[in-house]
Structure 1
Amino acid sequence: MNTRQRLAVIRILQGHARPTPYIIFGPPGTGKTITVVESILQVQHHLAHARILACTPSNSAADLLAERLNLEIKRMLGGLVIKVTVFTHVFIDEAGQATEPESMIAVGLVMSLHGQIVLAGDPQQLGPVLRSQFAKDYGLNVSYMERLSALPLYERNENKFSNRGGYDPLLITKLLDNYRSHPSLMYLSSHMFYHGELVMKADKQLMTCLCNWSMLPNKNNFPILFHGVRGEDLREGNSPSWFNPYEVALTVKYLGSLLNNDAYTISPDDVGVITPYKKQVEKIRQTAIRHDLPKVKVGSVEEFQGQERLAIIISTVRSSESLLDLDLKYTLGFLGNQKRFNVAITRAHSLLVVIGNPHVLCQDLCWSRLIRYCINNDAYVGCDLP
């Protein structure tokens, strides 16, 4: 564990924040869940009286947490039939994805004054997934962790805590060492969402293994490709979902180049395709099958949050400017959602391929910066630029 992770564990053990919740702010690839697991193990080992509740807002996140705990803690996590009505320590991993009422279920089980609440997550990534506009209007799309992070008690103060990552170390620890991605892949996210503070600590062999991929326009240690295409938005029958056949063809082309490449040994599990529309997911899967390509995971940003792949291909779909207002109104697609953008571009270890219409995407600040970043690094190919 690095210095910040160890300090977070020590502060949780000491419990100086009690009864105020303690926050582990974990940007992409910084070992947030590992820090939570180590904190749980150390609390169990050093505090004989401890009664620990560890929970997450999703089954997949709970599975990951359980896998990283030892068997004894697993039995405790799975044994909620034990007759314990209050807990000394409540850990909520991926707290940024939980609605506040969901978090309150766990928070309500902690001892009033002497209990320790630990919230681990990233308010700059996707929050709770809600289907009800009514729920959104009443603020349930803001997690308990994100709401706390915006309070004066938790807010960033670079002058007061300049040598502590800008935050009060008794209340919040921001993890900075990224163990996932190539520096070029994290540069934008670090500077747009994390004050340019992330430090790249990924395994060099892993993060550079695709820097010489034949399809890259810039093979000088810059494993990003933006392929501009002026496709078309289509729908089938009564389906409300959109697809873009031009982007489907390009996505499958790049998939084939990665999976059928004698220069690299890449398994289907190493590659992921992110796209915002169900119909595009379906078309990419069908086309890949017709080209006899192995099955890879194709899904939305929400399905990839918390996951990582060696290579990520993003198909943005939208090519019609007349439909942008619809997307913004109903929070569809990638535009107008900084958190969705941040998650999408930070899933890859070694390679990021983005396919989209620059004339549409440039109207969004985040995507405009990505396009400019690729242009400045000779990583743009495809249609004319706006």
Structure 2
Amino acid sequence: METNPEQLQAVQAILNHTSLPYPFILFGPPGTGKTFTLVEAVTQLVLLDTEDVHVLICGPSNSSCDVIAKRLIERIPKEMVRGSVHRLYASSRQRREVDDELIPFSNMDDDGQVSFESRESLMDYQVIICTLITAGRLAQAVFPEGHFTHLIIDEVSQATEPDAVVALNAVRKRKGYREPHVILAGDPRQLGPVVFSPLAETNLGTSLLERLMARPPYVRDVDQPEHYNPSYIVKLKKNFRSHPALLETPNKLFYDSELEACADRREVDAFIGHPILKNPKIPLVFHGVQGRDQKEGRSPSYFNPEEATLLVTKYVDQILQSKSPKVKPHEIGIITPYRGQVYKISKLLEKHGISGITVGTPEEFQGQERKVIMMSTVRSTQEFLQVDRRFNLGFLRNPKRFNVAITRARALMIVVGCPQILATDPNWHALVSFAYTRGCYEGCELPPEVLEATAPNAPSEPRGLDELLKILREMNLNPTVAENLASERPLMASREE
């Protein structure tokens, strides 16, 4: 952490309560160590003040709570962790869904029976971890005034505001007692709350994190627009997940090009030079396919058999047969925005005798990562785009879903889709253009808007003739034509004048 100034800054702000009476926001883009930072801050709180500190940690899902619970159990010294950390489950939680290592630190026994301790017993724990909804039981228990000194809500950008208020109510300030320190952690650029009602989407679709970050004191400094006020908000910037080339597009589109690629190069360079790549130096493949998006009966979900077949028979098979690097099925993830395509790909994998590969929607992959990520975008017909907008389906016109999908890969990303449709969305246009200009594209013909905006195998900025000459020589190609053209530049300039 000493070499990561943003993480250190965040921990210090939490320990010193710099944001009070306002909540402190930890802005954690993909792969930047948000959970690690929270765990370190809680560990320091426990070590620094073993009697007066009582922390409630909440998340919108059991999986997010389990992740932080496991990290805390590993981080807090063994002689202190038993009796200080308690994972509180709802009675609906199933034993098969809970890791064995969490059972001794929870209210669930080995047989899966859930029991709730008395308020007095719960008060002995320094750290209680539960979902936002389960925190309602703590609010009903009416703990003594000022008992909880800290509330941490992880992945708060995925929770609706009413859900967040449940946890806030559990630690509400009472007159005459110090303000509990609220820490909100998440990424407003990734998927927000899941709201099924179009009428409710207008208000409930905006998370508490998004709403606060649009207001003082969390907005960027007017005099220094590249900076947040670190007393109230810290943005983590070191990405420990992805290859620099895979990080480039989301970094520019969503994070003001502030993220630094800091992943272990031995891991993220695993596919450099692999025959599956079009450009041996960039671990990205974009395969253009003009398939057919179909649906069965009255189902609102679509599938694309051409894309499913290409992914499984060409790319999955080739990667699993690779000798260097050797990739296991559980290291591969396949993301697609439609449940119909999830089903088709899963069945196709089963038919080929392949198991262990996770196939799911972007929502199911948020918070996860894989060595290899493949994507099937499905949509190939313009007329269905209106359906997607109406029901909030697909990748198009949904930048948060797009952002989650393209930030899961560590060492290789393969995208299969129809560029003619995808290029109508500005974010997908940027990715298609990046793949094309970096020599990572193959498949069907690109749409005119991509070809016009970019030169074949060229960067987004036009190259000068001198640079082109240098490239031709490096490729051992005859640069005579280009050199002749270069020699004409003064004459051409004088004619234009």
Q: Does TM, normalized by the shorter one, top 0.5? A: yes
Which residue, 213, 220, 242 being the options, matches 1:149?
213
Match of 2:372 among 293, 311, 315: 311
Q: Post-superposition shift, 1:75?
A: 2.7
1:338 and 2:399 are equivalent in the alignment: yes
Q: Deviations over 1:224-257 (max 9, x none)?
A: 0100000001112333211001100111021111
What is the rounded CA distance, in whole Å, between the counterparts of 1:226 and 1:294 in structure 2? 24
Q: How far apart are residue 264 of structure 1 and its match?
A: 2.3
Q: What one-letter code is carried by the residue in structure 2 that aligns with 1:131?
A: F
Q: Distance in 1 between matches of 2:387 and 2:172?
A: 47
**Which of residues 311, 327, 346 in structure 2 aligns to 1:251?**
311
Deviates more, 1:98-107 or 1:41-50: 41-50
Superposed CA deviations along residues 145-182 of structure 1, whole A, max 9, x for unmatched, are: 111011132111263475xxx10010001000000000
Q: Which residue of 1 aligns with 2:413?
A: 352
1:81 deviates by 3.6
- Give the one of 419, 427, 443 matched to 1:382: 443
Tell me the residue number matched to 2:384. 323
Does structure 1 conserve the Cα–Cα contact (< 8 Å) formed by 2:31 and 2:240?
yes
Query: Once the 2 structures are TM-superposed, how far is the Cα of residue 4 of structure 1 from its aligned partner?
Result: 1.3
Alpha-carbon offset, residue 326 of structure 1: 1.1
Q: Which residue of 2 aligns with 1:196?
A: 257
Identical amino acids, percent of aligned pairs: 43
Counterpart of 2:298 in structure 1 is: 238
- Write the letter of the residue equivalent to 2:10: A
Instruction: Tell me the equivalent position of 1:8.
Output: 10
Residue 111 (structure 1) shift: 4.8
Q: Following the alignment from structure 1 to structure 2, what is the Cα–Cα distance between the partners of residues 41 and 158?
A: 35
73-82 or 321-330: bigger deviation: 73-82
Q: Determine helix, strand or coil for the equivalent of 1:68.
A: helix
Higher relative contact order (CA 8 A, sep 6+): 1
Aligned counterpart in structure 2 of residue 187 of structure 1, from 242, 248, 251:
248
Contact 1:274/1:313 (8 A) holds in 2: yes
Aligned equivalent of 2:361, options 300, 323, 333: 300
Matched, 1:274 2:335: yes
Shift of 1:43: 1.2
Q: Which shows bigger deviation, 110-119 or 312-321?
A: 110-119
Separation of aligned partners in 2, 1:251 and 1:159 = 49
Q: CA deviation at 1:325?
A: 1.1
Larger Rg: 2
Do 2:69 and 2:87's aligned partners in 1 also have CA atoms closer than 8 Å? no
Q: Choose 314-323 or 36-45, whichever is displaced more.
A: 36-45
Amino acid at match of 1:50: V
- Cα displacement string for residues 198-239 of structure 1 (whole angstroms, at most 9, x for unaligned residues): 01110010110012222110002x100100000001112333
**Cα distance in structure 1, aligned partners of 2:167 and 2:300:** 37
1:76, distance to aligned residue in structure 2 (A)? 6.1
Residues 105 and 213 (structure 1), Cα distance of their counterparts in 2 relative to 1, 3 Å cut: same
Q: Which residue of 2 aligns with 1:140?
A: 204
The answer to which of 238-247 and 188-197 deviates more is 238-247
Bigger drift between 64-73 and 349-358 goes to 64-73
Moved more, 368-377 or 260-269: 260-269
Q: Which residue of 1 aligns with 2:427?
A: 366
Per-residue CA distance 1:111-148 (angstroms, 9 max, x = gap): 524210000100000001122223213x1111111110
Instruction: Give deviations 1:240-285, integer Å, cap 9, x for gaps.
Output: 2110011001110211111122232111111000001111011101
**Distance 1:384-1:273 versus aligned 2 partners, 3 A rule:** same
Alignment partner of 1:229 is 2:289: yes
Relative to structure 1, the CA distance from residue 28 to residue 299 in structure 2 (aligned partners, 3 Å threshold; closer, same or farther) is same
For 2:320 and 2:229, locate their aligned partners in 1 and report how far apart those are by CA, in whole Å: 47
2:337–2:377 CA contact under 8 A, matched in 1:
yes
**Structure 1 residue 29 corresponds to structure 2 residue 31:** yes
Q: Which residue of 2 aligns with 1:119?
A: 184
Q: Which amino acid aligns with 2:16?
A: Q
Where does residue 88 of structure 1 map in the other structure? 149
Residue 294 of structure 1, CA deviation = 2.8
Q: SS of the counterpart of 1:243?
A: coil
> Unpaired segments of 5 or more residues in structure 1?
none
What does 1:203-222 correspond to in 2, within 5 Å? 203-220=264-281, 222=282
Q: Which amino acid aligns with 2:157?
A: G
Contact kept? 1:256, 1:293, Cα under 8 Å:
no
2:47 to 45, 48, 55: 45
| Shift in alpha-carbon separation, 1:378–1:347, aligned structure 2, 3 A | same
CA contact (8 A) 1:281 1:298 kept: yes
**Counterpart amino acid of residue 299 in structure 1:** G
For the aligned residue pairs, the C-alpha RMSD in angstroms reads: 1.5
Aligned partner of residue 75 in structure 1, secondary structure:
strand
Aligned partners of 2:151 and 2:182 also within 8 Å: yes
Letter in 2 for 1:287: L
Give distance in 2, aligned partners of 1:103 and 1:213. Answer: 46
Counterparts in 2 of 1:67-86, with a 5 A limit?
Answer: 67-70=70-73, 71-72=81-82, 73-75=84-86, 78=106, 81=117, 83=119, 84=123, 85=143, 86=147
Aligned residue pair count: 381
